[in-house]
Amino acid sequence: MTNTNIDRILAGLAEVADIEAGRAAPARLFRPGAVDVRAIRGRTGLTQAAFAAQFGFSAAAVRDWEQRRREPEASARVLLTVIDREPDAVRRALAHT
């Protein structure tokens, strides 16, 4: 373990360069940043409770997100994005149950 950490740093820098040059794929293609839960819900015209019920969230989670007390997990951010952009597809997928 002489210069293993330095090696790792160099490898990391090389990877960043590769990704930026398009020679490699980033670890996570879709990196969901912060989502505006209230805005997304607002577009659906639903109350917090109804929104949670329709899309399988717990009401508590939606509350915490809109109050900015908690940040939605990566999975939740992705789902919220899909709800925002393809709401009918989400409803179709959930209706089957």
Partner DNA sequence: GAGCGAAATACGGCATTGCCGTATATATGA
Partner DNA sequence: TCATATATACGGCAATGCCGTATTTCGCTC
Which residues contribute to the site for its own copies (CB under 8 A)?
Answer: 25-32, 52-59, 61, 72-79, 81-82, 84-86, 89-90, 92-94, 96-97
Please identify, using beta-carbon distances, which residue of 70 and 85 lies nearer to DNA: 70
According to the binding rule CB under 7 A, does residue 47 interact with DNA?
A: yes
Nearest to 43 by CA among 94, 92, 97, 86: 86
Q: What's CA 95's distance to the chain center, in Å?
A: 22
Q: Does 55 bind DNA (CB under 7 A)?
A: no
- Under rule CB under 7 A, residue 57 binds DNA: yes
Vertex 11: Cα angle to 7 and 12 (nearest 5): 120
Q: Contact region for DNA (CB under 7 A) — 17-25, 66-74, 78-86, 88-96? A: 66-74
CA distance 22 to 87: 32
Rounded Cα distance between 27 and 30, Å, is: 9
Binding stretches for DNA (CB under 7 A): 38, 47-49, 57-61, 63-67, 69-76
